[in-house]
Chain A
Amino acid sequence: MPPDRRSPDRLTIDVSVLPDTVFGHRGLVWWGTVGFMAIEGTTLAIAAAAYLYLRTNAAEWPPRPTANPDLLIPTITLAVLLLKLIPYGLAERAAKRFDLAGVRRWLVIGSAVGLLALVLRWFDLQALNVRWDTNAYGSGVWLALVAHTSLMATDVLESAVLTAIFFTDRVQPRHFSDVEDTAIYERFLSVAWLLLYLLVFLGPRVL
């Protein structure tokens, strides 16, 4: 912003005219969210790296007599996780309009879909057809799933709390900005799962 002349010999920059609620990369919380996505993304990448490293030690993948993981339920979970992006995308658009009713509606639906995905995740674990302590392959796939599931569970709780705030009289403009950051985080979580799904559920069929 250009400085304006307040006194004859002195330039002043008056920041009181600047907004106190902003969206996207202008805001601090966006940067914090990206930072934690980087940390969590690294953790998931390490799980994938461990899986691929352990693959090199085995002649067959999965090692005999371990069966391949089932595909039906995990594919449904993946679809649900990707579908979840729709209500969160709509919540984000409503938030940018400061549309309280819209934010409430789409956050409730998004949280419910998130909860559904978490329930389905329980069946994903059964679909692995191996225990974590059976062999290194089992440890690798369980690590990938548990690491991602812990993020999902945290996210469902966080999303529920944000939704709850929107049903109180305590909602502030910055919470609308938080909705956008949540929507960005949801995209990270779903895309990360898409990659891990390919590795864990399709990987044994092609690696």
Chain B
Amino acid sequence: MPASIPPLPAAEPADVREVRELARTWADASGLRGWLTTVDHKRIAKRYVMTAFAFFALGGIDALIMRTQLLRPENQLVGPDRYNQLFTVHGTNMMFLFAVPVMLAMGLYMVPLLVGARNVAFPRLNALGYWVYLFGGILLWVALLSDTGPDTGWFSYVPLSGPEFSPGKRVDVWAQMITFTEISGLISAVEIIVTALKCRAPGMTLGRMPIFVWAMLVTAFMVIPSLSMIATASQMLAMDRLVGTHFFNVAEGGDPLLWQHFFWWFGHPEVYIIFIPATGFISALLPAFTRRPVFGHNAVVLSSIATAFLGFGVWVHHMFATGILQLASSFFTATSIMITIPTAVQIFCWIVTIWTGRLQFTTSFLFILGFFVTFIIGGLTGVMLASVPFDQQVHDSYFVVAHLHYVLLGGGAFPLFAAIYYWFPKWTGRMLSERMGKLHFALWLVGVNLTFFPMHLLGLDGMPRRVYTYPDGMGWTGNNQLATAGAYVIALSVLAFVGNVLWSARRGVRAGDDPWVSDSLEWGTSSPPPPYNFARPPVVQGRAPLWDRTPDAPVVVGLATDRREILVTTAMDAEPDHRHPDPEPTIWPFVAAIAVSVFFIALMFTPWAVVFGSALLFPPLVAWGWPRRPNQAPGVTTPAEGGA
């Protein structure tokens, strides 16, 4: 494998006239109009990532308030009612508005580039997904700031969240926010599946598809059943509250455990919806920093698929304390331990890759190493929690809080930061500062461990989670103080990161097109990429397209430059199949998202919202799909000319 020889560019430099015409064809309108109407997957995904980080920061401030409240016993900074809203919104925000959307957004940005496509499969739908997500997120935060924040935990267990014990609109905000974000997530999943399967560059057979794209594909396939589940379940909860259905009402034959089954059948796979893309980041980044391909390509891909299947078979381990059958407990203990096998296979493959590679200790690589340490601690406490007697002992204690943060920050945030340091030059054309990056990494590593390690001990000492304060003399004060100090170190680390991003985006070192001398297709176009990504679709000759490319690689010609056109290939072998018109920018997804928002928010108050909400949504959807006159859509052949 070439270590320092610069690779050949993936795409042939197309002639100047062609490139100029492409630039004109794919350009967005300028100013606000362009901003609202764009259907460029890169602009939309960048927006998703930035919005998700804005929610991450808000959720972090929320956490800091909670940690400050817990700094000493009997603290009066925040009362119990406000505290309930704070921890509910923190968890809800971090899962639904940060972790899942940011992972899918990374896929929406990178998958088309990694497969050599010009855009995602359904660009207008993609725009709708973003706007719906944004409005759902604003709903949650406006509710918190107006003292209507949900207050029944991020999983909103019934009967606490039912009409009897939670009157008012707080839980309805939660239920509708779920609907917003899950619609957005489901749209992203369909985008990723169809882009990965139908828009790959010629030659990129499934066997050559990058591991990261596999990871996003597997994730998208998990998103469809799991996010459909929570969207439906949250509507059932909303109906129990609004129109008096009895799904979860024991008195009329309903069942609160039905909620828990539905919630965790979504909730546990969701952990893998966050984790599998993160494993994809690691597999995508390691070749650049070890100067070799990932060891065991097939084993890593198959492990992702196995994890996805097993991920739907472990949900009851969240319900060990509900008195389910002992046989069921044993079964779910077994599956919960079994799911460590594919993860272990991946981790061993990465360790071999690192062991046999020539290492480059960049910030990105340090975050990968941090992932190993932190995630493995979280994984091991997960194995402990899979054991019923231990789970019964620490259920609802700070031990669980420690475990889940180690898993989500270790398995999600560390790889995410690694990926951002790696792809930032792709997005902006500039490098993030390595010096600031290393400061960010050091503070993050110390902060995460200082905050969450003491929580294991607090849990073992019996401190329950979701309490706004604790009495003096319990022996919990010291560890709480350590955790609070850690939270402020995390805050400093995030400030270092934000500062680095803001400074580097304007003044960072210019990156060139391929600063890491990487193997994969996204580095075969300019950094940042032009709106059409690739002037000519690249042709892929191996698993490492840039490293495997021969000087006589074929060139794809004949894709239109005077109108937006993409190449669609076959699902298995990526043989060129047909040309597909890519839609023009339009305002209608934005307008439709506003209609959706009015619909869903009104549905918190009246079931008639279904009628007038649909009526409101219909016109923008018709306008969206209504075709232009054929002579206004140049280049589309008539039925007689265009063969079927």
Q: Please report A residues at the B interface, Cβ cutoff 8 Å.
A: 1, 3, 6, 9-23, 25-28, 31-32, 35-36, 38-39, 42-43, 46-47, 50, 53-54, 57-58, 63, 96, 98, 132-140, 142-143, 147, 150, 153, 157, 161, 165, 169-176
Contact = CB atoms under 8 A, between A and B. Distances in A.
Nearest to B183: A39
B122 A54 contact: no
Contacts of A58: 253
Nearest to B254: A136
Given A3-B554, A15-B567, A19-B643, A174 B581 contact: yes
B245 interface: yes
Given A50-B236, A54-B255, A98-B640, 4 more contacts: A21-B578, A57-B253, A135-B252, A169-B629
Contacts of B559: 15-16
Contact of A28 (B121, B231, B239, B614): B121
A153 B246 contact: no
A84 B382 CA distance: 52
B494 interface: no
Given A20-B580, A50-B258, A14 B558 contact: yes
B618 interface: yes
B432 interface: no
Contact of B245 (A25, A46, A132): A132
Interface of B: 121-122, 125, 186, 189-190, 193-194, 197-198, 202, 224-225, 228-229, 231-233, 236, 239-240, 243-247, 249, 252-255, 258, 261-262, 537, 539, 552-560, 565, 567-568, 570-571, 575-581, 610, 614, 618, 622, 625-630, 633, 636-640, 642-644
Given A31-B198, A32-B121, A18 B627 contact: no
B570 to A, nearest CB: 8
A139 B254 contact: yes
Contacts of A143: 236, 239, 245, 247
Nearest to A135: B252
Given A28-B580, A39-B224, A172 B554 contact: no
Given A47-B232, A50-B247, A32 B630 contact: no
A12 B557 contact: yes
Contacts of A133: 243-246
Given A11-B552, A21-B644, A35-B190, A1 B581 contact: no
B247 A20 contact: no
13 contacts: A12-B556, A16-B560, A20-B581, A28-B194, A54-B254, A142-B245, A170-B627, A170-B628, A170-B629, A171-B630, A172-B627, A172-B630, A173-B636
B578 A136 contact: no
Contact of B555 (A11, A135, A136): A11
B578 A18 contact: yes
A147 B232 CA distance: 9
A19 B253 contact: no
Contact of A23 (B249, B567, B581, B644): B644
B627 A1 contact: no
B290 to A, nearest CB: 33
Contacts of A165: 626-627
Contact of B578 (A14, A20, A132): A20
A39 B578 contact: no
Given A96-B644, A172-B627, A13 B252 contact: no
Residue of A9, A47, A96, A133 contacting most chain B CB atoms (<10 Å): A133
A133 B643 CA distance: 55
